[in-house]
């Protein structure tokens, strides 16, 4: 049995953390849906930067702007191209969406990363993208900055599917879940339906270990003898512990009395989606962040290399429902070692916003250069 497909037997949906025009046109995505049980797609500015700036697959589409009556704007051109890909992927995944009654079959499109600290602009662009894509199985991605969380609540209240991304801390995750419930409660008070509204909370994993392990290495360099053992025991463990504590909160909140009225009205829990699940440390298993986080009603969005690795040698079994006491103990031990997990996760959030912003700027620059070259060629040959 295909290990990727088998994950669904344990309650976990596999989404693909990648999109590019070639996979849509070649039939690769259709094959992955059929053979691997792929149930969704996520995208982000870095993924689109690689897809559009790093290939010629979009050049024919960009060429149409050369014949336009006005000079094209790079941001406008990007969203035109991205929406074409998102719509094509959403159409291919629509049977999954229908069969799962809106549980899966989702495709995510992110708002501009330069809006991460602007609530109203995020809401406005999200609504515009929702209308332009015009697919029921679209998810708008919004960053989990404080401003983004407020925008998220407003969008849920408007009935928009939302993927809240760049989540690193359990505390911020709690704010996101509260915003989800508040948005649904707002709809219910106004007599609006709360069924068929889907949301995931994209909780980043491997980046946490990368940051924490570096700090542990610094302390190990200064420690000696028995003082080293507790530190060694935390390497490669905190990201998983952090994720398990988030899942513990998920179970507490969505099985609570507060959510029961919403559930009776047809609302579904916001699922945790494990993101950043590619292994960055070569000393760790290349499927570490899949094997250790398998559990009911979760999603793992898997980058291409990890997707291939898990298909080759993944061993699905439920791993998320145990080890919670150990996770608490590991986080407590980290604090005792003088490492502030909250500070690290805040730094990772800040860096994530900056990284996506840089990718977006690079992407727009590459599109602008292609448009300029096209216009120059038109002038020379016209």
The domain that holds 146 is classified in CATH as 3.20.20.70
Tell me whether residue 43 is in a domain: yes
Spot the catalytic one: 34, 141, 244, 263: 141
Shortest CA distance to 122 belongs to which of 152, 81, 77, 163?
152
Torsions phi, psi for 339 (to 5 deg): -105, 125
Tell me whether residue 325 is in a domain: no
Tell me whether residue 366 is in a domain: yes
Stated pTM of the model: 0.95
Q: Which residue has the tokens 């507060």?
A: 258
Active site residue 141: yes
Tell me whether residue 65 is in a domain: yes
Cβ distance 233 to 223 under 8 Å?
no
Give me the torsion for CA of 16, 10, 297, 135, rounded to 10°.
Answer: 40
**Per-residue pLDDT tens digits of the chain, which is 382 residues long:** 899 999 999 999 999 999 999 999 999 999 999 999 999 999 999 999 999 888 888 988 888 887 665 667 899 999 999 999 999 999 999 999 999 999 999 999 999 999 999 999 999 999 999 999 999 999 999 999 999 999 999 999 999 999 999 999 999 999 999 999 999 999 999 999 999 899 999 999 999 999 999 999 988 888 766 667 778 889 999 999 999 999 999 999 999 998 999 999 999 999 999 999 999 999 999 999 999 999 999 999 999 999 999 999 999 999 999 999 999 999 999 999 999 999 999 999 999 999 999 999 999 998 988 888 776 545 444 4
The total domain count for the chain is 1
Tell me whether residue 265 is in a domain: yes
Residue 128, Cα to own-chain centre: how many angstroms? 20
Tell me whether residue 193 is in a domain: yes
Tell me whether residue 344 is in a domain: no
Tell me whether residue 224 is in a domain: no
Domain limits for position 290: 3-205+242-319+356-381
Spell out where the chain has E strands: 12-16, 40-41, 106-110, 138-143, 162-167, 199-204, 271-275, 298-302
Cβ distance 17 to 50 under 8 Å?
no
């Amino acid at each position: 049995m295909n290990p990727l497909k088998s994950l669904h037997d344990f309650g976990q949906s596999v989404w693909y953390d990648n999109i590019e025009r070639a996979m849509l046109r070649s039939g690769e995505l259709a094959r992955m849906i059929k053979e691997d049980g792929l149930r969704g797609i996520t995208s982000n500015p870095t993924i689109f930067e690689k897809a559009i700036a790093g290939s010629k697959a979009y050049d024919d589409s960009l060429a149409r702007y050369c014949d336009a009556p006005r000079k094209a704007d790079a941001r406008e051109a990007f969203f035109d191209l991205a929406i074409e890909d998102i719509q094509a992927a959403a159409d291919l995944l629509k049977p999954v969406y229908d069969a799962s009654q809106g549980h899966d079959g989702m495709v995510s499109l992110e708002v501009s990363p330069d809006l991460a600290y602007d609530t109203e602009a995020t809401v406005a662009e999200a609504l515009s993208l929702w209308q332009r894509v015009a697919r029921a199985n679209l998810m708008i991605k919004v960053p989990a900055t404080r401003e983004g969380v407020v925008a998220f609540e407003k969008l849920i209240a408007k009935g928009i599917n939302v993927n809240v991304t760049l989540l690193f801390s359990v505390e911020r995750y709690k704010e996101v879940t509260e915003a989800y419930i508040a948005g649904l409660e707002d709809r219910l008070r106004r007599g609006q339906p709360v069924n068929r509204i889907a949301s995931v909370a994209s909780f980043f994993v491997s980046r946490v270990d990368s940051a924490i392990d570096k700090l542990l290495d610094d302390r190990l360099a200064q420690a000696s003898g028995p003082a080293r053992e507790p530190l060694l025991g935390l390497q490669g463990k905190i990201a998983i512990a952090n994720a398990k504590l988030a899942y513990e909160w998920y179970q507490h909140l969505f099985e609570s009395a507060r959510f029961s009225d919403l559930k009776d009205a047809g609302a579904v829990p916001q699922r945790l989606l494990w993101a950043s699940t590619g292994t960055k440390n070569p000393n760790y298993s290349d499927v570490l962040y899949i094997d250790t986080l398998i559990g009911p009603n979760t999603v793992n969005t898997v980058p291409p290399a990890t997707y291939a690795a898990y298909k080759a040698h993944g061993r699905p079994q439920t791993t998320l429902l145990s080890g919670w006491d150990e996770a608490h103990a590991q986080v407590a031990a980290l604090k005792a070692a003088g490492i502030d997990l909250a500070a690290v996760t805040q730094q990772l959030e800040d860096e994530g916003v900056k990284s996506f912003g840089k990718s977006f700027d690079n992407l727009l620059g590459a599109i602008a250069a292609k448009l300029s070259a096209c216009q120059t060629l038109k002038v020379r040959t016209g």
